[in-house]
Structure 1
């Protein structure tokens, strides 16, 4: 199936949902924000053009008032806590992880508490009580203490109904994951094939139709190539105005 045909398949599926009286909520999570950059400004301009709300997962240890000034007055921006310093504490040979079981859980929790307070103070109008673990990995013992810090939601990658995600569920803590990643991390580290990304969107729409939830799109503005920007522009063009799709602030999804 060529790229044009796969985009048409997305339009057709949304048309079918509209005819059935159904709709899907989309949300956009972009990781690793620290400071204003050309790439961040490009992302802000693109989302603003299509009125797509944006959730920025910000690294607390490395950000400052420059990012706050950059985001000031933007009502469709949410700021989530992206760990503390995005530092790997796993030993060589293991998958990278900052919020794992390699350190005392109290140490990890105290870092998260500091990061939560720092971002809430820096971004008082856009802060959301959402934790985005670096590399989408977090130890269950750390999850158990998130509510006491003030977190109301956790976002990793993959279907919320999977066994891996189910293991993270705690009373009062909502799981709001991303489901479609645009980056080919294990290959070119550029944009994945557009047709394959759209297939992932279509697969997630089927899951939503059967079991509810949202379609979470995951991006990393600092490593986007031109193909990523082209993909996002086309995706927003189709979905931002279609009656069967709605781009939502993550704050609207928390507690829903």
Structure 2
């Protein structure tokens, strides 16, 4: 175990699979205790068997009360909170903007926008009680650039960047930092659904899409570890790109 985060307590939402699960594991590898939240109880149960330093709790991030309960349980079990990683997200159905239904729009706003907003709201008082800490909100390359047929998703990811900047300027005096982690195409089940099988089997096509090819969840997770560590103690309000060069040109 690397003791880079020894003594730190972190919450990860969306932790049952994909980038969230990879981030929970990475935090533990670097010495942290982690509370993992998700609506996927089966995935959480599997994650909990991997380390005694991972606790799990069902959490629907669209419900403010669930997120508040997750933070309260973390403080009760581990004695404080030093990092909040709002990873839960939803791509939703893809298609032309004019075909986005009210139901689809509400769902993506509830998970992506409200989930992160509630996560920040619930975590900030706990971070204040711990004397400061870090928030990492999962944005996307689409926090900064648009792509066809994911207008609602991109809009919520842009909003997440602004939530992050707002927290950064409002709570710096409490030594609370907030950064927006912005991955490109990552090899998770959610993102794989965005690409067809032919693309996923073609390394050159992936490099044409983003110069270094697709990204693994573990590669994103290590950047998240950096953002909650003391090594990034003067970073706040930033959009941190992990996009394999997608936005470089």
Is TM-score (shorter-chain normalized) higher than 0.5? no
Query: Shorter-chain-normalised TM-score: which range?
Result: 0.3 to 0.5
TM-score normalized with structure 1 length: 0.36
